Structure 1
C-alpha cells in the first residue's frame, strides 16, 4: 500500500512529494500530460516575499534561504518598480510601507525604464528583493528529488473515483487503481472536486482567472534588465520575459475549474491601463494566455489534515503564491504529517489549518 498518494502535480503537489518521499512510499497523480500544466505553468514566476497575507509573507520569508542556497539557487535579480498616478500620494505611501519599498526620483526611474510617462506618474518606488524564480527548474528539481527517494509520478491520470477504506483510500483513474494510507489533495482549481469525490466537505472556493499578454519589447528597447512594473492598486503589471514584455490586467474573474483561456476584452482593458503609464503604444500582441488562481475565503493557504478525516490532507488555495512559498509549505506538510515540530509560527499554522472551515 502507498503511504502518501498526492493528487495534483503542480508546484504544491510535487514539492510536497519531494519532502514526503524519504518518509514513505509516495505517488503523485497528475491528470495532464506534464507537471505544472495549469496554474503553475502560467505563473509570473516572481519571488516577492512581502506580497500576500501575513501568513503568506511568513511562509515566503521562510522560503528565502532555500531559494538562494539550494542547488546553486533558483533566483535571479529583477526588482519591482511601483508606479502611482498623480494625486495618489497617500495610497503610494501605504504601498511603500506594505512592501518595504523605497521612493525614488522619477527621472532616476526613467533612466532605468525609458518608456515611463512622466506626465501621468506622480510617484515611483523600487524594491530590490523582487526576483525571478526559475520555475521550470524548480519543478524538475522537486520531481527529481521525489524519484531519487523511490517516489513515482504518473501523468495523464485523471481521478474518476475515490473510496474510503478502513485503512486508507482507494483511488481510481481511467486504467489504474491505487491504494494509500493518506490522500493529499493538491489539485489546484480542482481541490473541491477531489474533495467531493472523496466524500469530504469541500472548501467552497472559486478559482479566479488571471490573464497575460506578451507584447514586443516597447520601442525596441532591451528590456532584460528592467524591473517588474506594478501599478500600486495592482490594476496591471508588466514583466520582461524572453526579450518581450508580458502584461497582465491582474483580473480576478470567478471561473469554474477548467483549462482557462484569456478574454480578449479583458486583455485590451488591461493593456489600456498599462499604456496610461508609458509612452510607447501597444500595436501588437504576440501571444496571450490565462490561468486559474485559487484562494480560500480569507486568502490564507489551506495546509493540513481535514478536520473530520485526518487521512485526507489539504495542500490547497495557494493562489498566486505557490512558487514563492513552496519550500516552506512543503516542509510544513512533511512536519504536520510526521508530527515533527515546525519552525513556522504556531499562529501561522493555525491560520492555514483546514479546521478553520470545519
Structure 2
C-alpha cells in the first residue's frame, strides 16, 4: 500500500537536539525543512545533559579543529540569535600527579595546544583551584580562554532562527518507517507521514537505528553512558571563579555549577539508546575520584543524572552523505563534543548538502569533507 504524505519538504532532519536544531537552522535559509523529534520537547537527551563547557584543547585533533572553528559563533552569534551572551569566562585545567607528568608534557607540546595554554606548577595550580590536594597535584596545563556555554540559549537560538525561516518542528513524532520511493524519502512517524528529497540523520544515540530503518549499513556509531553529580562545595571556599578541572587521563572532572560542584567520573559505559539513568556505582566512583584528588568532603548528593555520548568507530564526528543511500546524510557521532562543535559541523554539512565547497573558515583549520563523511568507513575494517 502506498503511503500518502501529509506534507512534502526539501529536507527532513531527524532529531531536534543540538545537532538537528543547528543543521535545520542552517538549511532553512535556503530550503523548506522539516525537523522531527520523538520526545515532547527538543533537547531532552544529550543536549539537555551536557557539561556546558567550550574548550579548544579537549578531544582529538579533528575535534579540536572543529571547536576552534566554532568559537567565533559561540562568542559572537549573529544579531538576534539570542537575548544574551551564549558564553561566559570559565577557564580549563588539565591536572597531573607526579607519575602522570610525562603524559601532561606530551599533551602540552602539541602544536595546537601550546599556544592556547600555560604550564603551571603545583603552587600556581592550587592558587587557581584551592580545592586540589597539595600532595596530589604536581602540575597542570591551563587554558584561560575556555568558556561556559549557555546550552539552552544556544539550542533555543537555533530553533528560533529555524522557525523564523519557516521551518516546521514536529514533536512526539518518533520515526516508524523510512523508505525511498520514486526519488524521495517517505518518513512514517507517530504523527503521520511526510516526504522529502533529502534526509539528515541527526538522531544522536538512535542514529544507527535510523540508518537501519533506511536500509543503510549499521555499526557506524554507538552510545555510551556518562554520569554527573551535583554536591555542596566547601562552605569556606568561594568557587565561582574556579576553572573546569580534568585529570590528564580523563579519570574525573569537576567544575563550579550555579553554586554547587559538578563531579563526573568521566565514565564511558556502552549501552543501548535509552533515557539514560545514573548508576549508583558510577556516582560512588565520581565522589571517590574527586575526593582523592582534592580536600572535598561529600556529605550529600544534591542531584545526579546521566547522558549518552555517541561515538563513531574512529571517534570522529560524521557529517556527510551515506554512500549507500541517495539523499541520505549523517550528522552524528559527536561524542562529548557536540555542543561546542555544533556551529562548525552545521556549517560544514549545510555546505555539502548545497553542493558547495567546504567553507574557507573550516579549511583553514585543516577540515575536509572526506574526513567527516561515511566514505572513510569504507576504508576501515569493522570494529
The two structures have a TM-score, normalised by structure 1, of 0.96
| Deviation readout 1:194-234 (Å, 9 max, x if unpaired) | 11111121234221111100011133523111101111111
| Deviation readout 1:285-316 (Å, 9 max, x if unpaired) | 11110011111111111111110223011011
Give the match for residue 295 of structure 1: 311
Aligned match for 2:151, one of 135, 160, 168: 135
CA distance in 1, matches of 2:353, 2:252: 39
Aligned match for 1:196, one of 212, 215, 218: 212
Contact 2:92 / 2:243 at 8 angstroms: preserved in 1? yes
Aligned match for 1:86, one of 73, 98, 105: 98
The two structures have a TM-score, normalised by structure 2, of 0.90
Answer yes or no: is 1:353 the counterpart of 2:376.
no
Change (3 A) 1:348 1:56: farther
Q: Look up the SS of the partner of 1:270 in the other structure.
A: helix
- Which range moves more in the overlay, 136-145 or 90-99? 90-99
- Which range moves more in the overlay, 306-315 or 243-252? 306-315
Change (3 A) 1:204 1:124: closer
**Alignment map for 1:145-294 (pairs within 5 Å):** 145-294=161-310
Structure 1: 4+ residue segments shifted above 6 A: none
Change (3 A) 1:347 1:80: closer
Q: Look up the SS of the partner of 1:339 in the other structure.
A: coil
In the alignment, structure 1 segments of 5+ residues that lack a partner are none
Give the match for residue 320 of structure 1: 336
CA distance in 2, matches of 1:54, 1:85: 24
| Deviation readout 1:54-87 (Å, 9 max, x if unpaired) | 2222211111111121146422100012211133
Answer yes or no: is 1:10 the counterpart of 2:17.
yes
CA distance in 2, matches of 1:47, 1:151: 28
Q: Look up the SS of the partner of 2:339 in the other structure.
A: helix
CA distance in 2, matches of 1:347, 1:265: 39
- Which range moves more in the overlay, 114-123 or 224-233? 114-123
In the alignment, structure 2 segments of 5+ residues that lack a partner are 1-7, 379-383
| Deviation readout 1:311-345 (Å, 9 max, x if unpaired) | 01101101111111111110111100111122233
CA-based RMSD of the aligned residues comes to 1.5
Contact 1:168 / 1:182 at 8 angstroms: preserved in 2? yes
Answer yes or no: is 1:48 the counterpart of 2:55.
yes
Contact 1:210 / 1:292 at 8 angstroms: preserved in 2? yes
CA distance in 2, matches of 1:275, 1:219: 16
